[in-house]
Amino acid sequence: MIFWYSKRQIKIGLLLLFFFVVGTSCFIPPLQSPDEPAHLSRAYLLSKGEIFLGVSDGVTGGKVDSGFLKYLDSFTYIHPKFPVKVIEERLETSRGLRWSSEDQFIGLPNTAAYFPISYAPQAIGIILGKSFDLSINQTYYLCRLASLVSTLALLFFALRLYAMPPLVIACFLTPMTIFQMGTASLDAVSFGSAALATSLFMRGCNRSLTFTSFMHWSMTFLFFSIATTRLNFIFLTLLPVVLYFYRQSIWSIWQALISFILATSWGLFALISIQGLTNARNFSTVEIIRYYFQNPFEYFRVLFDTLRNRELIVSYWKGFIGHLGWADTLLNKHTYLIFFALFLSLGFLTFRKIALKHHDRFRIFLFISLFLSFFSLFTILLFAWSRHPTLFIEGIQGRYFIPFMILIGYGFFDKSLGKSDIKIVKLICILMIGITLFSTLHALLNRYWLI
């Protein structure tokens, strides 16, 4: 395996990315990522050692520090329903809020379905903030920092263990990913986990490279963490089975089966136990599942109509590149077209022709896992979120496809690059960075700040 970048370039690139994200995040007010208050509340509960949530008045949730809740509520005025600028007086008031000694129950049905492994960085930030008696605002920014450092650490190991395809690197240079990396949401760590898990999988399928038991366990753990925070990726937990054919270790099969059973059990537990999910419908998830099982042609009709709807496809792409804030801050329309051209160029340069010989057959299993995960995403949103009855599947955002692109990049766009190709790839990445910096700052300044 030949790396198209050096170890020195990895360090410099990640250091620049760190300052790039930190600089951008200075213009992102607190709690502007979708459902970020709920994610932080979940991290707070994890910081107290609570993995399983309770129920109060028919809503799943937990007890959170009342001062912390007051901080979370102090930014609700900056919301799609109230598209106003940041009010300096309110920002200053929020900075003075301190931790209280009282806990208050809050409903968290939307995040209760996530096994809280990926909240560990934010939970550590909260623990440190309380231990050093930092203000809640300081603790919040410590959570942002912990999430960013964890994501960059995951990327560092992914870059070192297996040659990261340019298409994957491009996924971490879009306005959407940079924005999410600058917040305390769940996405950034999930994206980094997807990159490292797939990097380990690719390394495990390459017999010319060493693959230790620690790497194997790490890969299994990461796929499990992804599957229990993005339930449609549950089939990824079975990928370690493929390594049996390359490493002849029976543990590959056992680890995969145990991980799949645990992830499935968690998903079923979440489906049965979570109470209080609210949306514009009067049917329970179980009732809707039963309906589509009894009317399978209706399921395929809704799915087909969704996938062929041009407006929805365009919105997915725009969300993939950048629907910032609570999906209410758009970039310049030309930005989406330019990124489309740049991603397409990287695709042409790095597409790998699959020979399907023995050493390449693992890509078939990767494709099957991605195929099942893709349709699972639409199915889960149809059952658990969309109105009933519905013409199209609702609730799918473009950023949900970033992990897909990461896996696709590793599996099918990892061609060995010549010197001229490497120069073009690096030029495209530099262009992406420049466009992302300009378009993101322009959008943030116009949305949040008086300029």
> For the segment 48-73, what is each residue's pLDDT rounded down to a tens digit?
999 999 998 889 999 999 999 999 99
Residue 85 falls within a domain, yes or no? no
**Report field, pTM of the whole predicted structure over 0.85:** yes
Contact 90, 70 (CB under 8 A): no
pLDDT score at 408: 96
Contact 149, 75 (CB under 8 A): no
Residue 1 falls within a domain, yes or no? no
pLDDT score at 340: 97
Mean pLDDT in runs of 10 for the chain (451 residues)? Answer: 89 97 96 94 95 90 95 87 81 93 91 91 97 96 98 98 96 98 96 97 93 95 95 95 90 93 92 74 81 94 96 96 93 96 96 71 91 95 88 94 97 90 95 97 92 64
Contact 194, 154 (CB under 8 A): no
Residue 218's domain spans which residues?
A: 7-33+150-448
Residue 129 falls within a domain, yes or no? no
27: exposed, middle or buried (C-beta count within 10 Å: 0-12, 13-18, 19+)? middle
Sorted by sequence, the CB contacts under 8 Å of residue 186 that are 6+ apart come out as 39, 114, 118, 119, 229
pLDDT score at 276: 78
Instruction: Domain count for the chain, please give it.
Output: 1
Contact 63, 105 (CB under 8 A): yes
Residue entry with tokens 């999430």: 147
pLDDT score at 81: 64
d(CA 56, CA 98): 26
347: exposed, middle or buried (C-beta count within 10 Å: 0-12, 13-18, 19+)? middle
Contact 321, 333 (CB under 8 A): no
Contact 190, 173 (CB under 8 A): no
* β-strands 59-65, 103-107 pairing: antiparallel
127's tokens: 């623990």
Residue 14 falls within a domain, yes or no? yes
Residue 385 falls within a domain, yes or no? yes
Distances (CA, A) of 414 to 167, 202, 247, 289, 344: 8, 10, 22, 39, 14
Written as one string, the DSSP assignment of 48-107 is TT--S-EEETTEEEEEEEHHHHHHHHTTTTEETTEE----HHHHHHHHT----S-EEEEE
CA angle 421, 361, 356 (to 5 degrees): 65
Residue 310 falls within a domain, yes or no? yes
Taking every pair of C-alpha atoms in the chain, what is the biggest distance, in angstroms?
65
Residue 143 falls within a domain, yes or no? no
